[in-house]
């Protein structure tokens, strides 16, 4: 039994009460969410977004950003013909506000399914043929109907952006991306090409932030957000994930994990991070937390157009990493001992150096630096302070005034030089 209780009727009095959504010419924008060849993981990821959250977008809580009237098959209360009504109005040009279309999952070649009398993915039914029999309307058909008059077409997740897993080798459904389906020349009514937010699943915040930026543009308040040559938000996908990886320093020092659970760089057990555009290590998966290498997983390239075929077999070493890890090991074998040498010294107060003893009870067994080590640090200290006109020997600093060789305040000495 279809439900006629409309989500929009429930939310709009609450959303418009604050007036925030009136901050601009557009009070609202409809967002039609369709699923093609998808696992619904993108929907799950987006419901976890916090910056901004889906709820705040639907409630118009961001001044200057029109509120989002979301039509999502899982979230909305209405069902059956009531659910389809706004989409049909959009196709007929009778909707009360502009709309964007969001596609999760890849677009299937429905002609393959029709040959067997079936379909791959659909939303709703419509009467069809001379006897008016109901038939499923494929997601592909909805996209073709809505794209020409959409304010923006947004692909979420790697299946919708690049074809993803459904289009992997073999590809029995003829799956393809939204960009492949609409073609190079596609532009929305506002002149925007397809927007792509990849990931399998994508980071929810990457998506909601991009939607908010596009809505801000539609409102006329901001420029069109910067997208790269593949339609990705440039500020989110401009860097490789390796550059901000929490394990990057291990790579630099030439130490590598041998099995999952080890804390070091994961490249030798299958991480493709150095050649993958992704921001999960800096942004986190949900609410700034978790995400692949942060949580112990290796990058398998899920945001990339070449995923999955160009990254398989997963969790085996990328062949191209051999040269760089060999160099890292060689450099690291020199750098690591030098850093350890400095690190040991920097873990000591100047006073302890002078006294030749560490007063911590925890370090009772700790051996004091050797004479050779002291000479080395003395030399390093000279290098570090070279050119410093306020330079004194290190043992002057950190003393009480009455301990200073000059008998005065070390700070005073410095100020007088």
Q: How far is the CB of 191 from ligand SF4 (least distance, A)?
A: 30
Asked whether position 300 contacts ligand SF4 by CB under 6 A, the answer is: yes
DSSP E strand boundaries for 92-162 = 99-104, 122-128, 133-138, 152-156
Asked whether position 213 contacts ligand SF4 by CB under 6 A, the answer is: no
Asked whether position 178 contacts ligand SF4 by CB under 6 A, the answer is: no
Q: How far is the CB of 402 from ligand SF4 (least distance, A)?
A: 50
Residue closer to ligand SF4, measured from CB, 178 or 304: 304
Residue closer to ligand SF4, measured from CB, 17 or 249: 249
Q: How far is the CB of 288 from ligand SF4 (least distance, A)?
A: 15
Residue closer to ligand SF4, measured from CB, 215 or 266: 266
Q: How far is the CB of 184 from ligand SF4 (least distance, A)?
A: 25
Give ∠ CA 93-94-96 in degrees, rounded to 5.
Answer: 120
CA distance to 51, 52, 54, 132, 149, per residue, from 211 (Å): 11, 10, 10, 39, 18
Q: How far is the CB of 198 from ligand SF4 (least distance, A)?
A: 8
Query: Coil, helix or strand for 122?
Result: strand
Q: Is the CB of residue 112 less than 8 Å from the CB of residue 37?
A: no
Q: Is the CB of residue 84 less than 8 Å from the CB of residue 76?
A: no
Binder of ligand SF4 out of 41, 193, 222, 248 (CB under 6 A):
248
Interface size with ligand SF4, residues (CB under 6 A): 23
Q: How many other β-carbons are positioned within 10 Å of the β-carbon of residue 363?
A: 14
| Range 316-345, binding ligand SF4 (CB under 6 A) | none
The Cα–Cα gap between 295 and 256 comes to 16
Residue closer to ligand SF4, measured from CB, 86 or 308: 308
Give Cα 79 distance to the centre of its chain. 32
Which residues make beta-bridge pairs with 71?
A: 32
Residue 200: asked if its preceding bond is cis (omega within 30°), the reply is no
Asked whether position 42 contacts ligand SF4 by CB under 6 A, the answer is: no
Q: Which strand ranges, in their side-by-side order, compose the sheet holding 28-35?
A: 67-71, 28-35, 99-104, 152-156, 195-197
Q: How far apart are the first and last CA of the chain?
A: 88
Residue 92, token pair as written in the block: 């007929």
| Range 266-295, binding ligand SF4 (CB under 6 A) | 266-267, 271, 273-274, 276, 278, 280, 292-293
Q: How far is the CB of 246 from ligand SF4 (least distance, A)?
A: 7
Asked whether position 301 contacts ligand SF4 by CB under 6 A, the answer is: yes
Residue closer to ligand SF4, measured from CB, 36 or 274: 274
**Which positions touch ligand SF4 (CB under 6 A)?**
199, 241-242, 245, 247-248, 251, 265-267, 271, 273-274, 276, 278, 280, 292-293, 299-303
């Amino acid at each position: 039994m279809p439900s006629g209780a409309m989500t929009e009727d429930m939310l709009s009095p609450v959303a418009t009460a604050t007036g925030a959504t009136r901050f601009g010419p557009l009070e609202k924008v409809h967002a039609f969410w369709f699923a093609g060849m998808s696992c619904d993981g993108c929907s799950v990821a987006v419901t976890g977004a916090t910056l901004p959250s889906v709820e705040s977008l639907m409630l118009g809580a961001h001044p200057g950003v029109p509120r989002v009237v979301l039509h999502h098959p899982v979230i909305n209360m209405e069902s059956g013909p009531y659910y389809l009504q706004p989409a049909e109005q959009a196709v007929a040009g009778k909707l009360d506000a502009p709309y964007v279309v969001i596609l999760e999952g890849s677009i299937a070649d429905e002609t393959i399914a029709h040959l067997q009398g079936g379909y791959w993915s659909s939303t709703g039914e419509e009467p069809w043929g001379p006897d008016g029999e109901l038939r499923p309307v494929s997601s592909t058909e909805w996209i073709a109907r809505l794209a020409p008059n959409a304010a923006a077409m947004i692909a979420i997740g790697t299946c919708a952006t690049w074809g993803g897993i459904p289009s992997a080798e073999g590809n029995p459904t003829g799956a393809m991306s939204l960009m492949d389906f609409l073609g190079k020349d596609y532009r929305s009514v506002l002149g925007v090409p397809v927007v792509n937010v990849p990931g399998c699943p994508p980071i929810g915040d990457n998506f909601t932030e991009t939607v908010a930026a596009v809505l801000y543009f539609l409102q006329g308040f901001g420029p069109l957000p910067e997208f790269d040559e593949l339609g990705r938000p440039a500020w989110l996908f401009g860097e490789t994930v390796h550059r901000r990886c929490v394990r990057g320093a291990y790579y630099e020092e030439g130490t590598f994990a041998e099995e999952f659970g080890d804390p070091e760089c994961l490249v030798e057990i299958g991480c493709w991070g150095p050649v993958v555009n992704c921001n999960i290590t800096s942004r986190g998966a949900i609410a700034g937390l978790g995400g692949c290498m942060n949580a112990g997983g290796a990058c398998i390239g899920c945001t990339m157009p070449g995923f999955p075929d160009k990254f398989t077999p997963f969790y085996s070493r990328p062949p191209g990493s051999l040269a760089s890890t060999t160099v890292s090991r060689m450099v690291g074998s020199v750098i690591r001992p030098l850093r350890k040498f400095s690190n040991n010294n920097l873990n000591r107060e100047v006073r302890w150096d002078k006294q030749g003893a560490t007063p911590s009870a925890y370090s009772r067994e700790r051996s004091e630096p050797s004479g050779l080590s002291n000479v080395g640090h003395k030399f390093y200290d000279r290098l570090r302070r070279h050119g410093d006109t306020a330079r004194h020997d290190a043992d002057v600093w950190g003393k009480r005034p009455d301990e200073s060789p000059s008998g005065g305040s070390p700070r005073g000495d410095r100020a007088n030089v």
